[in-house]
Amino acid sequence: MGRSRVLAYTVLSLGAFSMLVPFLWMLATSLMSTAQIYAFPPKLMPDPLQWQNYPAAMDAVPLGRFFWNSLLVAVLTTAGQMVTASMAGYAFARLHFPFRNGLFLLFLATMMIPPQVNIVPLFMLMSRLGWIDTYAALIVPGLFGAFGIFLLRQWFLGFPVELEQAARLDGCNPFQIYWHVALPTALPALATLGIFTFISTWNSFLWPLIVTNSEMMRTLPVGLAAFKGAFRETTEWGQLMAAGVISVLPALGVFLIGQKYFIQGLMSGSLKG
């Protein structure tokens, strides 16, 4: 093994370790008592393990409700965006209609607008529709995204013309070609979009904070932010870290499940312009 490869592996290992340290520290803290957390010098490993922090965190706030809200919003938003982005991406890549390129450039231009700029008009729209403090306000605005359309369009541009022509000769209409022929080949791109969308929706804080009023409609990030206020005198850091560990697991699981297709999408050039 050459020196350059050893150096590359060393740098990558150090980078991976530095990214794991905050998670490992959170995991260790979630299993410590208050005395262990404030001990000096700091303890790296809990002894004994304080497993009761996890049920205590569930009892301190309606963590189960927060978890369900986040899961429902993230799953439906991800599924919806995969459908809309794949349909729009296929239309921009394979169908011919007036102003196709101009509309696509308009979609790309929306990616340059900071999300915070859209908050006021979106909030006013949700208010006019009567959707404030409902699942609709949490889900519907996230069903459409320019990045997903761009990603799927780039993938479908490489879709073999021969397969499309063969399907057309068999009597398939454009939707049937999209659904039965083109879409099954786009699993790597869909997995990439799904991972990005799920994680970003799961971690979303500002929009759920603005459009939810009641505690029962809070998502997990908003609930965790209010977690410290649930205690009258001191913050129970062990319970707070236990809630943080619980919040990380779904996003980590989604990435591990879709990792194979995600890497395949990167290797196939689905992210190339």
Average pLDDT for 90-118: 90
**What DSSP string describes 144-160?**
--HHHHHHHHHHHHTS-
CATH number of the domain to which 255 belongs: 1.10.3720.10
Q: Are residues 134 and 224 in the same domain?
A: yes
Average pLDDT for 178-183: 92
The domain boundary, picked from 30, 51, 72, lies at 51
In this predicted structure, what is the pLDDT of residue 152? 93
Q: Are residues 209 and 74 in the same domain?
A: yes
Average pLDDT for 41-55: 85
Average pLDDT for 228-245: 74
- Reference 256, options 187, 199, 204, 189; nearest CA is 199
Residue 241 lies in a domain: yes
* pLDDT level of residue 43 (50, 70, 90 thresholds): confident
- Residue pair 152/85 in contact by the 8 Å Cβ criterion: yes
Q: Does residue 200 have a pLDDT over 60?
A: yes
Residue 90 lies in a domain: yes
In this predicted structure, what is the pLDDT of residue 6? 82
The domain boundary, picked from 34, 51, 68, lies at 51
Output the six-digit token pair for 180: 């039965």
In one-letter notation, the amino acid at residue 246 is: I
* Higher per-residue confidence, 266 vs 137: 137
Output the six-digit token pair for 6: 């050893």
Q: Does residue 254 have a pLDDT over 70?
A: yes
Q: Are residues 45 and 59 in the same domain?
A: no
Q: Does residue 235 have a pLDDT over 80?
A: no
In this predicted structure, what is the pLDDT of residue 228? 66
In this predicted structure, what is the pLDDT of residue 59? 84
Q: Are residues 21 and 144 in the same domain?
A: no
Q: Are residues 98 and 31 in the same domain?
A: no
Domain boundaries, position 64: 55-267
In this predicted structure, what is the pLDDT of residue 233? 58
Residue 43 lies in a domain: yes
Q: Are residues 45 and 86 in the same domain?
A: no
d(CA 115, CA 210): 13
Q: Are residues 12 and 82 in the same domain?
A: no
Residue 153 lies in a domain: yes
- Over residues 5-37, the pLDDT tens digits come to 888 888 888 888 888 888 888 999 889 888 888
Q: Are residues 151 and 42 in the same domain?
A: no
In this predicted structure, what is the pLDDT of residue 44? 81
Q: Does residue 232 have a pLDDT over 60?
A: no
Residue 273 lies in a domain: no
In this predicted structure, what is the pLDDT of residue 265? 61
Q: Does residue 264 have a pLDDT over 70?
A: no
Residue 121 lies in a domain: yes
- Residue pair 213/30 in contact by the 8 Å Cβ criterion: no
Q: Are residues 101 and 17 in the same domain?
A: no
Q: Does residue 231 have a pLDDT over 50?
A: no
* pLDDT level of residue 215 (50, 70, 90 thresholds): confident
Domain count, the chain: 2
Residue 82 class from Cβ within 10 Å (0-12 exposed, 13-18 middle, 19+ buried)?
A: buried
The domain boundary, picked from 35, 51, 67, lies at 51
Residue 216 lies in a domain: yes
Q: Are residues 226 and 251 in the same domain?
A: yes
Q: Does residue 229 have a pLDDT over 60?
A: no
- Residue pair 156/90 in contact by the 8 Å Cβ criterion: yes
Q: Are residues 190 and 68 in the same domain?
A: yes
Residue 262 lies in a domain: yes
- Over residues 109-165, the pLDDT tens digits come to 988 888 888 899 999 999 999 999 999 999 999 999 899 999 999 999 988 888 888
* pLDDT level of residue 271 (50, 70, 90 thresholds): very low
Q: Are residues 37 and 133 in the same domain?
A: no
Q: Is the dihedral of CA 27, 32, 38, 44 positive or negative?
A: negative
In this predicted structure, what is the pLDDT of residue 270? 41
In one-letter notation, the amino acid at residue 14 is: L
